[in-house]
Each structure stands twice: as C-alpha cells, then as structure tokens.
C-alpha cells in the first residue's frame, strides 16, 4: 500500500493506492471530481481509497488541487519503489471527443496541455480545474504528462476522456519490467 496525506487550513486529503487488491473507494465533497477519480484509478488498474474534506463552501479549487497533489505523491511512491516500463500512451474516444495522453515516469514532473473546454462548467464543476488538477498531479507524481484534445464535442466528454486516457497510459507505464527503465541506470 502506498499512502500520502496532506492537511492545510483549507483541506485534508488521504490517499492509499495498491496494484493488487480489490475495490476503489472515493469519498470527496466534489461529485464530478469523485467520478473522474474513479475512472482514473479503474483505467490505471490501481486499487485504493481517496478521501478528502475541503472548503468547498468557498469553491472547489483548493480541494481539487490538494487531491491532485496528494494523489500524485502516492503515485510517485508507487512507481519509484519498483522497476517499471516507464512509458505509456492512450488515445481515448468518447463520441466525437478524442483525447491523446502520453506519460513518461521520468522523475521530471511537467504537463503539456493542449485543449479547450467548450463550456466553463460541467454541472457545477469549473472546467478550468481540469488542467489545474493535471498540472499539480504530474508535478507531484514526477511524471511528464502530455494531454491533447484532438477533437471535442462537449466538456463532459473532454474531462472524462482525459481521466480515462491518463489512466490507460499509466497502466502501461506502471507495468513491471525486467529491464531498467533508463540507460542511465536510475531515473530519480
């Protein structure tokens, strides 16, 4: 089990992840984020629990960002503890939306985001928080993450396709490998 905890004046977040087991439990006060997190873990083949409390009476920003930070830290513990394939990618269609995700577990966290949401909200959720989530996640997980929306029909499909695509790319990158992940002999 790989765990991370974060507590601030604005949020409290706890994440536990495992590659073996059963079940995904998400307990966060932002319903849309909870749905996306379940899709991410399911498509990555990762089991675990994510629970958060936050100042959502202000808005969802602090909770979304702190969940991404904590999830990224737990994932970094998971991937740096073993020899992995390192690279993964996926192209995920959802109706007329198509998203490409590519991951390099490089030890150098960065995000390249190319996409525009056609509406500012999915229900009550601010779509501008999706790239913010991925920026914090990739930084803390020490992953190079590329996300590109090749076509978009609506904001919900774009958000959902990004979480599914990253999950599928992570599933490839996190596979155990008999060979070293780098010719350098070490990534981090």
What are 144-162's pLDDT values in tens digits? Answer: 999 999 999 999 999 999 9
Q: Please check whether the domain covering 2-174 is classified as CATH 3.40.50.450.
A: no
pLDDT of residue 79: 86
SS (H, E, C) the chain: CEEEEEECCCEEEEEEEECCCCCEEEECCCHHHHHHHHHHHHHHCCEEEEEEEECCCCCCHHHHHHHHHHHHHHHHHHHHCCCECCEEEEEEEECCEEEEEEEECCCCCEEEEECCCCCCEECCEECCHHHHHHHHHHHHHCCEEEEEEEECCCHHHHHHHHHHHHHHHHHHHCCECCCCCCCCCCCC
pLDDT of residue 58: 87
The pLDDT-based confidence of 182 (bands split at 50, 70, 90) is low
Q: What is the pLDDT of residues 3-28, one digit of tens each?
A: 999 999 999 999 999 988 889 999 99
pLDDT of residue 43: 97
Task: Tell whether the model's pLDDT for residue 186 goes beyond 70.
Answer: no
Q: In the predicted model, what is the mean pLDDT of residues 55-84?
A: 92
The pLDDT-based confidence of 185 (bands split at 50, 70, 90) is low
């Amino acid at each position: 089990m790989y765990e991370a905890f974060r507590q601030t004046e604005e949020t409290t977040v706890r994440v536990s992840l495992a590659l073996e087991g059963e079940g995904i439990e998400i307990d966060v006060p932002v319903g849309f984020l909870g749905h996306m997190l379940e899709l991410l873990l399911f498509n990555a083949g990762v089991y675990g629990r994510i629970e958060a409390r936050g100042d959502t009476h202000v808005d969802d920003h602090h909770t979304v960002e702190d969940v991404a930070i904590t999830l990224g830290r737990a994932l970094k513990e998971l991937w740096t503890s073993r020899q992995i394939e390192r690279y993964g990618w996926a192209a995920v269609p959802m109706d007329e939306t198509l998203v490409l995700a590519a991951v390099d577990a490089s030890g150098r966290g960065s995000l390249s985001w190319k996409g525009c949401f056609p509406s500012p909200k999915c229900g009550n959720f601010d779509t501008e928080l999706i790239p913010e989530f991925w920026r914090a996640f990739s930084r803390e997980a020490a992953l190079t993450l590329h996300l590109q929306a090749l076509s978009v029909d609506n904001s919900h499909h774009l958000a959902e396709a990004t979480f599914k695509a990253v999950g599928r790319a992570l599933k490839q990158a996190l596979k155990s490998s008999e060979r070293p992940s780098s010719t350098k002999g070490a990534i981090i």
